[in-house]
Amino acid sequence: MNVYRTRAGLRHQFRDVLNFYYPACIDTTVGGYVAQLDERDGHIYDSRTRHLVATARGVHNFSLGVLADGPDWCRYAAEHGLRFLSTAHWDADREGYDWLLDSRESTDRTRYCYGHAFVLLAGARALQAGIPGARAELERVFDVLEERFWEPEHGLYADRASPDWALASYRGQNANMHACEALLAAYEATGEDRFLERATTVADRFTREVTSATDGLLWEHYTEDWEPDLSYNEDEPRHQFRPPGYQPGHHAEWAKLLALLDDHGSASWPLERAIELFDTAIELGWDEEYGGLYYTVAADGEPIVPDKYGWVHTEAIGASALLAPHDEAYADWYDRLWEHSVEHLRNPKYGNWYERLTRSHERDDPNRGTAVEPGYHPLTNCWLAMDVLEDEPAAFE
């Protein structure tokens, strides 16, 4: 039996990820989190950089630790990170969150909707966990998102702006997906319909209307008028954040969000669309020769970047867990994804997840940088799977 069909097995993996980052990530001198831990052995390779997304994800992660009755230090760690997020990253003069800091000094004040979405997610989970100051942070960042990024004529969020709030022309899928995720979390934390209504608008507009131009597939990059920019970065297939092509991982991630939206609403379309998107992720992305999901593919499923990313597989695990109560075929995919991930993508010594491997699951570089993955994807999806096992245990029998 797959041990991750049990709450005990999932809790063990959940704690392993938390334990990999704590206490090494806590900086009591500068403040905030040191997120740049080597994924092989956990040593710190950059103690000064503070990235907005990593800070917000850290608050989210430790807040989930509180909600999941994790170690007692999760509350302290969440409080520690939220204080830094609300002071060091916040630019009071321009009213937005700075993207990158060197210790506490801003080095990049670009305003990214993606980063502000993660602040909203952090505020929502911290509020659920009872962390002081969380409600104020949630309201502050939601105001910024609504006033600066929301474009009512499109029903979607703009992607980025200058420090003085001049919007760039680029529009992107990823910022809106994570805004939807954060809005759902804000609804769960507050019970206020304004968050659910906005999440529903974003999900409906993007996954059903915008994608009609690409036969229902989720393209990543768009013009200011939300027309697909099919040539975007076509000469940079390995661009770290904005590669060309379709991403099976984002199809699975949207499937997860739509399944959550289905849990909160009465319409039938979110679940129907979630199933379509998960099935598409597998159909386009599954590597029949080596196993696992490709990173990017063409519309016919031909791989562009065949590498295997840890986050892609954790998102597919979360989506399959949420879909399993509706069809046992997704419980089978849940097992298959876990089997593949444990064999290749999870660090066998520490339980953290590798960022990226080659198609044949080899490590070809240390996967370091300022924009790191501090355990957010595996923690989130373990937490969701635990919730399914509590509410729908028959889905995995």
Catalytic residue, from 178, 251, 340, 377: name it: 377
Cβ-contact 273, 319 below 8 angstroms: no
CB proximity list for 8: less than 8 A, separation 6 or greater:
none
Q: What is the CA radius of gyration of the chain?
A: 19
**Assign residue 236 a region: left if phi > 0, alpha if psi is -120 to 50, beta otherwise?**
beta
* Amino acid in the structure at residue 28: T
Token pair of 151 as six digits: 């474009």
The verdict on whether 250 is a catalytic residue reads yes
Instruction: Please name the residues in contact with 166: beta carbons below 8 A apart, sequence gap of 6 or more.
Output: none
Asked whether 314 and 353 are in contact (CB, 8 A), the reply is yes
Crossing angle of helices 73-87 and 113-128, rounded to 10° = 140
| Alpha helix ranges (H) inside 295-373 | 310-323, 328-344
Q: Which of 20, 22, 14, 81 is nearest to 53 (CA)?
A: 81
Q: Which of 60, 178, 250, 251 is catalytic?
A: 250
Please, which residues have CB within 8 angstroms of residue 226's CB and are 6 or more apart in sequence? 154, 156, 171, 210
Amino acid identity, position 96: G
Q: Return d(Cα 119, Cα 57) in angstroms, integer.
A: 8
178 is catalytic: no
Task: Sort strands 105-108 and 160-161 into parallel, antiparallel or unpaired.
Answer: unpaired
φ, ψ for residue 71 (rounded to 5)?
A: -55, 150
Active-site residue list? 250, 377
